[in-house]
Amino acid sequence: MKKELTPLQREVMLKKATEQPFTGRLLENKESGDYLCANCGAKLFPSNSKFNSGTGWPSFDSAFPNSIKLEEDNSLGMPRTEVICSNCGIHLGHLFNDGPTKTGKRFCINDCTLDFNKEGR
């Protein structure tokens, strides 16, 4: 686990809050590489699975095998699927079945839960 989380990261990762849309530093990132858990560094999403959903949060249509866990979330009075880092257990975001790619999946992930490792680094 990271030694020092920002206040926003604590709210999102540990208390399952949602960051404001269109505020993340990785939202417009188009470089090749891997998206990592900002808490533990585990590889979560390959850059070639990222797409622009227009929602204001980084969106992916697939994750690395065994990198995430999915849990039922009824916290807002509607059924949703929570996305959790398999390695450290922090909240990442939610999965929706309305993605535009062949998987039909949209992993809607809070930007502050992600780090990026550029290909070749």
Closest CA to 114 of 63, 52, 54: 63
Tokens found for residue 66: 């065994």
Residue 3 to residue 51: CA distance in whole angstroms: 31
Note if 85 is an active site residue: no
Residue in 37, 40, 88, 108 annotated catalytic: 108
Hey, how many other C-beta atoms are within 10 angstroms of the C-beta on 76? 7
Which amino acid is residue 70, in one-letter code? L
Residues catalogued as catalytic: 108
